Amino acid sequence: MLLLKCDGLILSGGWDIDPLLFGENEHPKLGRINRKNDDFFLDSLHIAQDRRLPVLGICKGHQLLNVAYGGTLYQDLESQKEGAFRHVQTGERADYSHSVRIKADSWLSDLYPERMDVNSFHHQAIKDLGNGLRSAAQADDGVIEAIEHEKELVFGVQWHPEMLLSRNEDKALALMKKFVQCCAKNKN
């Protein structure tokens, strides 16, 4: 399998996550799901875990990590989390939509100032954190926008750094560089 040749795993964005994976039935506002796709993500994650590879989850990937570690999701933020603002931006992919507060001592804290702007293309979000995971960044409405594992090399961001690359700012690239460095270091 291809993953046996990789030094790390990025779980990308995608459709909604099957709520059966965290013990819930479908909320009326749940979007498109594809269980095969979820299972592929989970299988890849399990191989990466077996091989102790660093993992970075982006948007859906970030949410799936939480589910894989036993956490839960808001199936639809707008109808399930009071006071949540709109996290499905109408602007361009590389536009900023809301700010996040980076937690001190998190994996992002040496890359970014305490507050920074991100893009936002999700109507689902982490509700209860999975085992061993902690929040690394939060939006002002309380939505968890980044996570990390307390012991494992497992990281997640709710925004899309790869879509911000066209801004030609160091900001988006910094996160990717850090992950690649983490993979290289882990290999040695």
Instruction: Give the active site residues.
Output: 59, 160, 162
Q: What is the DSSP letter of 19?
A: G
Which of 49, 89 has the CB closer to Mn ion?
Answer: 89
Which string of b and e fits 142-153 if b means at least 16 CB within 10 Å?
ebbbbbbbeebb
Residue number with the smallest Cβ distance to Mn ion:
120
Distance in Å, CB of 91 to Mn ion, minimum? 13
- The string of DSSP codes covering 77-140 is HHHHSTT----B--S-TTS--EEEEEPTTSTTTTTS-SEEEE--B-S-EE-SPPTTEEEEEEET
Among 13, 38, 44, 87, binds Mn ion (CB under 5 A): 87
Should residue 63 be labelled a site residue for Mn ion when binding is judged by CB under 5 A? Answer: no
Q: Beta strand pairing status for 9-11 and 55-58?
A: parallel
Q: Mask 91-130, x = binds Mn ion (CB under 5 A)?
A: -----------------------------x----------
Q: Applying CB under 5 A, does 62 fall inside the site for Mn ion?
A: no
Q: Which residues bind Mn ion (CB under 5 A)?
A: 87, 120
